[in-house]
Amino acid sequence: MAQNHLANLKVITPSDTAKIQEFNYIQCGGSGDIAVQMEEGESVVIKASLLDKMSIVPVGTMNRVLATGTTATDIYAW
């Protein structure tokens, strides 16, 4: 039986301090950049130019969507 990964869908509120359950995919409804952080502490900014072209972006394994550097809205991760 196939797993339903959308069952793990989370609505994200960006925070520089709060960790969330690890996620591998991210999507936004409102255009902007999204800053994400890996467990090891490395962070990367996914630019609006990419997010606007892809409805779902694979990001590897992340555990935080940072408020600093994030301008996108309506963010979902799973």
Q: Give the Å distances, CA to CA, from 32 to 38, 49, 52, 60, 65.
A: 20, 8, 8, 20, 13
Q: What is the pLDDT of residue 6?
A: 63
Does residue 40 have a pLDDT over 90? Answer: no
Classify burial at 7, counting beta carbons within 10 Å of its beta carbon; exposed 0-12, middle 13-18, buried 19 or more.
exposed
**DSSP 3-state assignment of 6?**
helix
Average pLDDT over residues 12-16: 96
Domain residue limits, the chain: 5-77
The model's pTM: 0.87
Rounded (10°) CA dihedral 10, 16, 19, 22: 60
